[in-house]
Amino acid sequence: MKLDLDHIVLAVRDMDAMLGFYLDVIGLAPHRVDEFRSGAALFPCARISESALIDLLPPALWDNGDAAARTYPNLNHFCLALEEADWEPLLGRLDAAGVAIEAGPMTLSGARGDGTSIYVRDPDGNRVELRYY
């Protein structure tokens, strides 16, 4: 059996901050953002790859609309892998955006073996591992 990551879902407090982080700072592609802003889609996404998305859920969709029931963090962390050539530009964007590196760089094991990783937090406090192999 072959499985691939399809999507992850994050509960989002500040949609503009989260879209700015994942699209502008991290550099992911927008998916259904215009549709969300026009009211035609329930939530926007950030495209990780051709086959994987980060769904960004506004408070109205949390736990059947009960935003008070949402506890944080949403998850321990997730990892985005990039090409080594994109590493330094990413570090520059993180620095320019004032995003602190919480840990790393360090060598850690992942789906494709050992890679160089750092950890940062998105605007809602989710821990994101960024790495290259």
Give dist(CA 92, CA 26) in Å, integer.
10
CATH number of 7-132: 3.10.180.10
Q: How large is the average pLDDT for residues 35-50?
A: 94
pTM above 0.85, yes or no: no
Domain extent listing, the chain: 7-132
Per-residue pLDDT for 52 more than 80?
yes
- In the chain, % of residues over pLDDT 90: 65
Residue 117's pLDDT band (cuts 50, 70, 90) = very high
- Per the rule left: phi > 0, alpha: psi between -120 and 50, beta: everything else, 27 is left
